[in-house]
Amino acid sequence: MAITTAREASYDTTSGAPEPARHAAPNRRFRRGSFLRDLEGQPTFGHIGPNWFASVMGTGIVANAAATLPVQVPGLLVFARAIWVLDVLLLAVVLTATAVHWLRHGERARAHLDHPVMSHFYGAPAMGLMTVGAGALLVGQPVIGTHPAVVMDAVLWTAGTALGLWTAVAVPFRAFTGHEVKADSAFGGWLMPVVPPMVSAATGPLLIAHLPAGQARTTLLLGCYVMFGLTLMVSVVMITMIWSRLVHHKVGAAAAVPTLWIVLGPLGQSITAAHNLGEKAPALLPAPYGTAFHALGLVYGVPMWGFALLWGALALAITIRTARQHLPFSLTWWSFTFPVGTVVTGTSGLAAATGLDLFTGAAVLFYLGLLTAWATVFVRTARGAWAGRLLKAV
């Protein structure tokens, strides 16, 4: 999800890479309609940033959210498994492209962490790993088997959690000590490096039953609650700053508008985490603590769901207003997928806890919106990557 703020006019909104001083002459070998025709002689892997992992997140949540829906639709789980397999392949492609980028363009790759915009998207790889891992247990078991699914999720969750805890510290530290940050700099992407621990908290409960009874299970449960609090408190601070920027400096560049949807990520994921952790708490914690954490899933989830609806309505209104003028396509459009997917999983959790048709209907409605957004963004990303437009600096 490459982005452009009002003060980052020179930042490439297509590939997410800082714009080079000069470009090579167009490569005449690529005819119109051919593979990489728009790359214009630039290196294929020259501008691969961590924002590309947003496509892994956005695709994986389509499968995971389907598995949590409170209604059973014929063929839905088969569809979810197919999407998960696609996401595994997508993760492999993005990981390979990233490795090649680091090997061939190491200096440019290292510069991403020093960039005041791109650095925040280092949270995407962590969340991409955990999304694929969670999908292995939620929908992938019939495809690869139970034991391989457990191992796959354990490896990807552990790697994603470690990387996410690093980004939650390293990226803000760079912002505090080195990045040039102005009054109008706050945008949804600031949440990206601090949301991964909440994803860990929401998906960690899937592994609890596969750990030895006793200390291991309780430690993982409380560790997830620690990560829940870590992201929640930082998100409150950052969402306040984003709201303030919108009030005082208005919407800003059109290319950055999709990132407003990222705010739904910590909101929906925190509701999901509160529910998933609460379901495990009574069996692992003594009374009254286990019961209290179980109640937190609803006591916290319902009010936060209300704020998610408010922010979603504002983000939708701003997006429609911008689209009527001009909303250029870029990797920022993946912001329309994963955050909405977390609202689906959170709403499904509330439906399971209450049995209310209100939450069941809302979960289905949000999922239909997620499917529409994902299909649109996936097709346009595939076309842009095939033609080379999303692989070059503009």
d(CA 40, CA 14): 14
Per-residue model confidence (pLDDT) at position 394: 53
Three-state DSSP at 11 gives strand
Per-residue model confidence (pLDDT) at position 365: 98
d(CA 353, CA 67): 16
> Residue 128: which residues within 8 A CB-CB, separation 6 or more?
53, 54, 56, 57, 60, 91, 94, 160
Digit-by-digit pLDDT tens for the chain (394 residues) are: 333 443 443 334 334 433 333 344 344 343 445 788 888 889 999 999 999 999 999 999 999 999 999 998 999 999 999 999 999 999 999 999 999 999 999 999 999 999 999 999 999 999 999 999 999 999 999 999 999 999 999 999 999 999 999 999 999 999 999 998 888 999 999 999 999 999 999 999 999 999 999 999 999 999 999 999 999 999 999 999 999 999 999 999 999 999 999 999 999 999 999 999 999 999 999 999 999 999 999 999 999 999 999 999 999 999 999 999 999 999 999 999 999 999 999 999 999 999 999 999 999 999 999 999 999 999 999 999 999 999 987 5
Structure tokens at 149: 């699914």
Q: φ and ψ at 2, to 5 degrees?
A: -70, 145
Contact status, residue 109 vs residue 99, Cβ threshold 8 Å: no
Per-residue model confidence (pLDDT) at position 322: 97
Q: Give the number of other CB atoms < 10 A from CB of residue 283.
A: 14
Structure tokens at 216: 């291991």
Contact status, residue 202 vs residue 234, Cβ threshold 8 Å: no
Q: Give the number of other CB atoms < 10 A from CB of residue 13.
A: 21
Is the model's pTM score more than 0.75? yes
Domains and CATH numbers, the chain: 50-379 (1.50.10.150)
d(CA 149, CA 118): 32
